[in-house]
């Protein structure tokens, strides 16, 4: 009888996983996020090229020295990934009229496209468009590179 009581007391004192090893709780499996391959490419592009946005001075469509540095890094990445199509979205200044902002955005997008082609990116890989004031960007004038 004593042996039965001692055995019962030992079973109660021990955790369930020690009593029955197959009941041991498995560690929570971390959820593996499913990533879209395009999102991975976009993140890699932004990280290695210094961003996806090129800034212009207000009212101008001329590339600044800072913009050419960013575009050179972007062109280096794009040369390594010729299978990735790129859309350049030009934006106008928020203070311009709608038509003028579309025209400035188109000139900026075309300027960026021409510079990338000059740096060796195939012209068929790069398209340019203008949002004007329809989709405003940062407070200063911008052109955004979008991997499609």
0.75 cut: is pTM over it?
A: no
Task: For the domain covering 37-147, report its CATH number.
Answer: 3.30.1330.60
Tens digits of residue pLDDT in 52-75: 888 888 888 899 999 999 999 999
The string of pLDDT tens digits covering residues 85-94 is 999 988 888 7
Instruction: Read off the pLDDT band of 6 (50, 70, 90).
Output: very low
Lowest-pLDDT choice from 74-88, 92-106, 112-126: 92-106
Minimum mean pLDDT among 53-57, 63-67, 79-83, 144-148: which range?
A: 144-148
Greatest Cα pair distance, the chain, in angstroms, is 98
Nearest to 94 by CA among 134, 143, 129: 134
Per the structure block, which two tokens stand in for 42?
């976009």
Which DSSP category does 57 fall into? Answer: -
CB atoms within 10 A of CB 41: 16
CA-wise closest residue to 63 among 101, 120, 112, 123? 112
């Amino acid at each position: 009888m004593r042996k039965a009581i001692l055995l019962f007391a030992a079973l109660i004192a021990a955790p369930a996983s020690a009593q029955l090893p197959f009941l041991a709780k498995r560690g929570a499996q971390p959820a593996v996020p499913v990533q879209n391959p395009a999102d991975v490419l976009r993140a890699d592009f932004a990280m290695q090229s210094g961003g996806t946005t090129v800034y212009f001075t207000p009212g101008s469509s001329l590339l600044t020295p800072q913009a050419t540095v960013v575009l050179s890094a972007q062109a280096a990445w794009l040369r390594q990934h010729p299978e990735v199509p790129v859309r350049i979205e030009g934006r106008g200044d928020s203070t311009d009229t709608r038509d003028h902002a579309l025209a400035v955005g188109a000139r900026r997008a075309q300027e960026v496209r021409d510079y990338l082609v000059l740096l060796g990116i195939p012209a068929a890989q790069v398209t340019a468009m203008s949002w004007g004031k329809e989709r405003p960007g940062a407070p200063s004038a911008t052109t955004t590179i979008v991997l499609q």
